Structure formats: structure tokens, C-alpha cells
Amino acid sequence: MDGEKVNVQRLIEEKQNSNKWRVRMEKVVPFILFLIASISIVTTIGIMYILLKESMQFFKEVSIIEFFTGTVLKPLSSEASFGVLPLLMGTLISTTIAMLVALPVGLMSAIYLSEYAPDRIRRICKPLLEVLAGIPTIVYGFFAFTFVTPILKHIIPELEATNILSPGIVMGVMIIPMIASLSEDAMSAVPNTMREGALALGATKLEVVFKIVIPGALSGIIASVVLALSRAIGETMIVTIASGSTKNFTLDVTQSMQTMTAYIVEVTGGDAPAGSTIYYSLYAVAMTLFVFTLVMNLFATFISKKWRYQYE
């Protein structure tokens, strides 16, 4: 009997120790998860701090009004000028061309995969479409420079060897999977009961797509477009290789132009000494680019919340 009492007492003590260990873990685990979840926030704050700090050094030497309103960018000239508008123009034009290519193709692909394609074809086509997203951007850059540009030159003889049209088109091809995949997911989330109800009332398949499915998935579609837009704005290697480094302030897509990301690559890969005005201009341009992409992502979040449909 005494041996049984000792064994029972030992089991009780082990159970109490186990419970204490579990209680400690329950207190520690949320703290560990909080630290892990805070990594992205801390990283963003660190990036913003560095960009703001170094940009302030640049704006001590160059007027912020001159920077955002100047149409001439000649950082290496004896009379250096640092107007960012040529870079903004190149970025916006290349992004606009990319969206003109990606938006109709991506959206139509999403409609086909979601509403018209049989399950067997959908299982084959969607992964093949998403393969485009896995191709390295430097490959896209050489594809634009060595394949797309020569073809366009036969159509547009005045097209320069490096131009903004070719990389814009290839950037559009690159972001098609983002628009197609995210939009298709949003359309597939629309309940089938809404489709069946519309068809029962006499609507055609096309009417169901444009009057039921697309309005129901509008928040997801817009979010995918804005995210693709942010991706195009931040693209680096395609424009670096195929668009050239000429800082033109023009709307002529046949000419060589430079984007903000290409300028950053040029400065970091050049001979700009640390602490010089050219060196600090890198951070001013990077800060402008960061604000652009941040605003796009915030806008996508706002649109998704504002136009989100709630299905029961």
C-alpha cells in the first residue's frame, strides 16, 4: 500500500510539473509569435528611416521644389541638375504600356478559366500561365532587347535600339499571371447560386459574367490590378537592359528613357563617391519610388475593403 501511495504521489507531482511547464509555454509562445509578426513592421520602419535620413542629406543641397518639378536630370554635368520628372515620366509610361498589355489579356484569361474552361483544361492552363511569373526578370530583359525590339523595329522604323515601348510590352507579359490568377480566384469565390439564379431568370452566360460575376469579384479584381501596377512600377532589370539610360522628358515611346529603378541601378553601379550629391540622389529617388508603391498597396487595401461583397 505504501508503494502505491508513493507512485500516486509521484504521478501527481509529475502532472503538476507538466502543467507548470505548459503554463510557462502558453505565456512564452504569444511573445515569440509577436516578435516574429513584428519583423516585417520593424523592417519597413528601418527602410523608411534610412531613406528619410539619407534623402534629407540630399535635400539640404538640392531644393525639393527643383527635384520634383525639374525636367532636366544631369547628375554628372559640371552644372549638375537633379529634376526627377524624366525618371517619373519613364516609369509612368512603361507602367502604362505594361497595364495596356496585361489588363485585357489577364482579365480575359481569368474570365475564361473561371467561367468557360472545363476543369481538365483549367488544371492544365492555370499552372502553365503562372509559369510566366517564375521566369527571372533579367531573362525578360534580354528577351525585350534581343527579340521584341527587332520585331518592333520592322513595324516602327524610327524605333531606337533602346526604347521604352519594348520593355513596357514585356513587363505587361510578365504581370499577366498576377492579374489572371488573382482575378480568377476572386471570380471563383462568387457563389454558384448567384450564377444559377441569373441563368434561371433567362440571362445568357456572357450576361452572367459581366453583370453577376465581375461585379461580385470587383474588389479582388481591382486589388490584383493595383498589385500588378505596383509590381510594374518597381520592375528593375527589364527597363535597365532594354530602355537605356537616356534621361529624356518626353512622351515619345520610340525613344530611350530611364525609369527610377534603372537610375538607382546606374548610380549604385557607377563611380558616385559616398557622401556626394549624386550618391544622396539615389536615396531621394528610392524614397519617391517607395512612396509610389506604398500608396498603390494602401489603395489596393482600401478598394478591397470598400467594395468587398459579403456572401452568406
| Domain boundary pick from 39, 60, 81 | 60
pLDDT computed for residue 108 by the predictor: 92
Query: Per-10-residue mean pLDDT for the chain, 312 residues long?
Result: 54 60 73 86 88 88 86 79 88 93 92 87 82 86 91 89 91 91 87 86 86 85 86 87 86 89 82 78 89 80 66 47
Do 131 and 153 fall into the same domain?
yes
> Are 38 and 120 part of one and the same domain?
no
- The CATH number of whichever domain residue 98 belongs to comes to 1.10.3720.10
> Are 22 and 83 part of one and the same domain?
no
- Same domain as 264, residue 295: yes
Task: Look at residues 29, 75, 114, 66 and name the one whose alpha carbon lies nearest to residue 270.
Answer: 75
* pLDDT tens digits for range 56-91: 888 888 888 888 888 888 877 777 788 889 999 999
* Domain enclosing residue 166, as ranges: 73-306
pLDDT per residue over 27-38, tens digit each? 777 888 888 888
267 occurs within a structural domain:
yes
Q: Which residues fall within 8 angstroms of residue 93, CB to CB, at 6 or more apart?
A: 164, 168, 251, 253, 257
pLDDT of residue 312: 45
- Cα 144 from chain centroid (whole Å): 20
Say what the pTM is. Answer: 0.83
Considering the domain architecture, whether residues 80 and 56 belong to the same structural domain is answered as no
CB neighbours of 20 closer than 8 A, spacing ≥ 6?
none
- Specify if 206 maps to a domain: yes
Claim to verify: residue 56 and residue 111 sit in the same structural domain: no
Number of domains comprising the chain: 2
pLDDT at residue 13, as a whole number: 59
pLDDT score recorded for residue 143? 92
Q: Is 311 within the bounds of a domain?
A: no
126 and 218 in a single domain? The answer is: yes
The predicted pLDDT at position 195 comes to 85
- Collect all residues with Cβ–Cβ distance below 8 Å to 203 and sequence separation of at least 6: 211, 212
Residues 155 and 19 in one domain: no
Say if 213 falls within a structural domain. yes
Are 8 and 147 part of one and the same domain?
no
pLDDT at 271: 64
Residues 134 and 270 in one domain: yes
